[in-house]
Chains A and B, each alone.
Chain A
């Protein structure tokens, strides 16, 4: 019998969490991620079915919708990602595909992405040096896709000083290094 141990995107046994100055940068492996895309001509029926199944509206451009521990965020025209805790929603993609009656394109995304959370009053100093997104003016449920360290990333605002960054999992190390190096250079002197 194999005794396999799950590892995180950064290769550890548990999530890597670092506090630099006032900002905590944490790896968040406990995420189940699924993309939902309306097919051509079925945009309205998809939005209706989506609301019925998840209890939240199909997210509007650059925004997210949250109910309990499920969040849907806009990724493109008629397209969004749904995220939920992995422990309780391991089969999110399969169950969404079934409940949306296979009329919507649903794709498992969990292992394609890595999530890092930035939490702390100085997180804007880190973000404004990392990407072109205007993070201080984003609404509390704002989402945008932009470039961080040459990587296409989603930046989500959760609350005042709490942001999540989704980047490509295969470049998790580079993305983490970029965030930590930026935080150190900005906040270490404080």
Chain B
């Protein structure tokens, strides 16, 4: 599988490691009243779609950047690759 890195271009998937659902970017507020419930959801509850899935990949043997890869879990087709830092910034964090 080839991942089209936004900075480096097409790179072999063996250079990457996989973390999981991109929702891991959205860590809950630890000071919220229902923080325990939110962290339970964040940590353990995941959707497991057959189809498009946004997931986190780490370019461990490359430039060490985190990527958000949109991949179809049925066909393995990759439709979008973004830097996780850009995604977080777009959502108003890590300015």
Which of A41, A76, A132, A147 is close to B63, meaning CB atoms less than 8 Å apart?
A76
B15–A61 CB distance below 8 A: no
CB contacts (< 8 Å) of B65 on chain A: these are 76-77
A125-B61 Cα distance, complex, nearest whole Å: 22
**Is A40 an interface residue, CB under 8 A from the partner?**
yes
Q: Which residues of B contact A144 (CB under 8 A)?
A: 8, 62
Interface contact B61-A145, CB-CB below 8 Å: yes
B95 beta carbon closer than 8 Å to chain A: yes
User: Inside 8 A of A41's CB, which chain B residues have their CB?
Assistant: 95
Residues of A within 8 A of B (CB-CB), count = 14
CA distance A188 to B20 in the complex (A): 46
| B64: chain A residues within 8 A (beta carbon) | 76
Q: B62: which A residues are within 8 A, CB to CB?
A: 144-146
CA distance A144 to B8 in the complex (A): 9
Instruction: Give Cα A114 to B37, complex, Å.
Output: 49
On whether the beta carbons of B8 and A61 are closer than 8 Å, the reply is yes
**Closest chain B CB from A166 CB (angstroms):** 13
Contacting pair B63 A77 (CB below 8 A): yes
Picked from B14, B63, B94, the residue with its CB within 8 Å of the CB of A145 is: B63
**In the bound complex, how far is the Cα of B7 from the Cα of A34, in angstroms?**
23
* Dominant secondary structure at the A interface: strand
Chain B residues near A132 (CB-CB < 8 A): 11-12, 14-15
- Provide the residues of chain B in CB contact with A152, threshold 8 Å: 60-61
Does residue A62 face the partner (Cβ distance < 8 Å to B)?
yes
In the complex, the chain A residue whose C-beta lies closest to that of B14 is A147
Collect the chain A residues with CB atoms within 8 Å of residue B61's CB: 145-147, 152
Confirm or deny: B4 has a beta carbon within 8 angstroms of a beta carbon on chain A. Answer: no
Is B72 interfacial (CB-CB < 8 Å)?
no
Is A75 in the interface zone, CB < 8 Å from B?
Answer: yes
Q: In the bound complex, what is the Cα–Cα distance between A132 and B1 (angstroms)?
A: 13
Interface residues of A, Cβ cutoff 8 Å to B? 40-41, 61-62, 74-77, 132, 144-147, 152
Interface residue ranges, B against A (CB under 8 Å): 7-8, 11-12, 14-15, 60-65, 83, 85, 94-95
9 additional contacts (CB under 8 A) given A77-B7, A144-B62, A146-B62: A40-B94, A61-B8, A61-B63, A62-B7, A77-B65, A132-B11, A146-B15, A147-B14, A147-B15
Between A and B, 13 residue pairs with Cβ closer than 8 Å are A61-B8, A62-B7, A62-B8, A76-B63, A77-B85, A132-B11, A132-B12, A132-B15, A144-B62, A145-B61, A145-B63, A146-B62, A147-B15
